[in-house]
Chain A
Amino acid sequence: MHIIVVGCGRVGSTIAPELIEAGHTVCVIDRKPTSFRRLGSQFAGDTLVGVGFDRDVLRAAGIERPGGVAVAAVTSGDNSNILIARVAREMFGVENVVARIYDPKRARIYERLGITTVASVAWTAARVTRKLLPESVQPTWTDPTASFQLIEQIVPKKAVGMRVDAVEELLGGRLVLIQRNGEMRMTDPAMLLQDGDRAHFLVPADTANQLTTMFDRAEGGH
């Protein structure tokens, strides 16, 4: 995947090398060339000086590359991050967009625009990376006997519109929590999954990596 990281502050300069390590190509954008020093001389990605919501800058950074693009808007300004995220999503059709937001009340509103937000207080480079790349299914908990895992994953497209109880039956597990518009809620069996929902599944450990495949094989939502 090609990942554009806007903002080379503490977060940006931490996640960029991690993403390269994970095998992705990365372009870091920042208004100030001196910010790139934080990346160190070994950084194997590209850097670009410019404004992250400028269409030409994003094009130069590779936002139109085929094969999957993700954007992390992690500058120190909430408003900049929102502009970047919306331009990436709505103008360029990038689906994997994460924006760092300091103000949690504003985050709720932006989540409704389909932008995944990471609250600044709770951020870690790991959390941003996990939210950025939905295929990276990481268990958040494994029981002591290693039989069950708690998996956090954005709801696959095929599952949108499905009832919680139907999903649970399909996966042979439980869909315990859904994070929607920045709010965490307990599920009830009749709830329908929606686009952008982040689900927390409790599943047998041996099926944890296969959730998306299981949805693909099933009939999917109505």
Chain B
Amino acid sequence: MKVLIAGAGSVGRHMAEQLALSGHDVRIVDVEPSVVGDKADGGPIDGVTWFLGDACEVGFLNKIGIETIDVVAAVTGDDEDNLVISLLSKQEFAVPRVVARVNNPKNEWMFNEMWGVDMSVSTPHLLTALVEEAVNVGSMVRLLSLEGGKTHLVEVTLAPDSPALKKEVGGLGLPREAAVVALVRAGHVIVPRNDTVVQGGDEVLVLVSLGSEAEATDAAIRAALVG
């Protein structure tokens, strides 16, 4: 796969390394000469091509071969730049998949198809969710949003007083839009079947598709798992 990473900070560089290791064709772009290529701390990375320039410029994107790029990752430290890069990639070049980083959670509402973003990652949001997940037994934590916010992955660690205890997965009474995709028990991932019985302390991962009844769906899941 051909990947273009815009933003060669620590996030971009790390992504470039990992993707190159997996055998992808990686290009990385930044406006700062000090982070690009030979002059960068840590030097060049194997399998990664560096470009110095502004990924917000159509002419430059053309020059670095964007018509054959499969994925654009807009991961600069500036939300405005990430949105513009995403918009240009999607609208001008029809890049099949555009992933963008959200620096300030207040801007998260813009990171969707209006700006050409297929998937966004907000590090602060993710960190908060992980902290909540670590400390919250018995409440519902949203881990990840997919498809521009239409699908969520949520997690509930079953408390001793959960109404779900000792029930089978098929009989939990979850709404139609929710599917239990995994149970994590004592460090093991269990792929549940309808007759798998849940226990106290199980981390239940549920994939929820949000339709028009988002609040009702939410409430129904809580009622079934949290009580």
A binds B: yes
Using a CB–CB cutoff of 8 Å, the interface residues on chain A facing chain B are: 53-55, 77-80, 82-83, 86-87, 90, 103, 105-106, 109
Q: How far is the CB of A94 from chain B (nearest CB, A)?
A: 16
| Contacting pair B57 A79 (CB below 8 A) | no
Residue of B nearest to A55 (CB): B109
Residue contacts A-B, CB under 8 angstroms, 9 given = A79-B78, A79-B83, A79-B84, A80-B80, A83-B83, A90-B114, A105-B59, A106-B57, A106-B58
Q: Is there a chain A Cβ closer than 8 Å to B144's Cβ?
A: no
**CA of A78 to CA of B84, assembled, Å:** 10
Q: Is there a chain A Cβ closer than 8 Å to B224's Cβ?
A: no
Residue of A nearest to B79 (CB): A83
Known A-B contacts: A80-B80, A90-B114, A106-B58. Give 14 more (CB < 8 A): A54-B106, A55-B109, A78-B56, A79-B56, A79-B81, A79-B84, A83-B80, A83-B83, A83-B110, A86-B114, A87-B110, A105-B57, A109-B58, A109-B91
Residue of A nearest to B82 (CB): A79
| Contacting pair A106 B80 (CB below 8 A) | no
Please name the 5 residue pairs, one residue from A and one from B, whose CB atoms are nearest each other, closest first: A79-B80, A79-B84, A80-B80, A83-B80, A105-B58
Inter-chain contact total with CB atoms closer than 8 Å: 34
Candidate in B80, B109, B110 with the most chain A CB atoms within 10 angstroms: B80
**CA of A18 to CA of B59, assembled, Å:** 37
**CA of A132 to CA of B84, assembled, Å:** 23
| Contacting pair B80 A77 (CB below 8 A) | yes
Inside 8 A of A78's CB, which chain B residues have their CB? 56
Q: Is there a chain A Cβ closer than 8 Å to B41's Cβ?
A: no
Inside 8 A of B110's CB, which chain A residues have their CB? 53, 83, 87
**B157-183 vs A: 1/0 string, CB under 8 Å?**
000000000000000000000000000
Inside 8 A of A105's CB, which chain B residues have their CB? 57-59
Residue of A nearest to B54 (CB): A103
Inside 8 A of A83's CB, which chain B residues have their CB? 80, 83-84, 110
Inside 8 A of B92's CB, which chain A residues have their CB? 109
Interface size on B, residues (CB 8 A): 17
Inside 8 A of B84's CB, which chain A residues have their CB? 79, 82-83
Using a CB–CB cutoff of 8 Å, the interface residues on chain B facing chain A are: 56-59, 78, 80-81, 83-84, 88, 91-92, 106-107, 109-110, 114
Residue of A nearest to B85 (CB): A79
Q: How far is the CB of B150 from chain A (nearest CB, A)?
A: 19
**CA of A103 to CA of B88, assembled, Å:** 14
Q: How far is the CB of A57 from chain B (nearest CB, A)?
A: 10
**CA of A109 to CA of B91, assembled, Å:** 9
Residue of B nearest to A108 (CB): B58
Q: How far is the CB of A73 from chain B (nearest CB, A)?
A: 12
**CA of A160 to CA of B70, assembled, Å:** 39
Contact of A109 among B83, B88, B106, B109 (CB under 8 A): B88
Inside 8 A of B88's CB, which chain A residues have their CB? 109
Residue of A nearest to B83 (CB): A83
Residue of A nearest to B58 (CB): A105
Inside 8 A of B83's CB, which chain A residues have their CB? 79, 83
Inside 8 A of B114's CB, which chain A residues have their CB? 86, 90
Q: How far is the CB of B57 from chain A (nearest CB, A)?
A: 7
Inside 8 A of A86's CB, which chain B residues have their CB? 114
Inside 8 A of B58's CB, which chain A residues have their CB? 105-106, 109
Inside 8 A of A90's CB, which chain B residues have their CB? 114
Residue of B nearest to A51 (CB): B106
Q: How far is the CB of A219 from chain B (nearest CB, A)?
A: 36
**CA of A77 to CA of B81, assembled, Å:** 10
**CA of A103 to CA of B55, assembled, Å:** 13
Q: How far is the CB of A110 from chain B (nearest CB, A)?
A: 9
Residue of B nearest to A83 (CB): B80
Q: How far is the CB of B76 from chain A (nearest CB, A)?
A: 11
**CA of A31 to CA of B135, assembled, Å:** 36
**CA of A105 to CA of B92, assembled, Å:** 12
Inside 8 A of A82's CB, which chain B residues have their CB? 80, 84
Inside 8 A of A80's CB, which chain B residues have their CB? 80
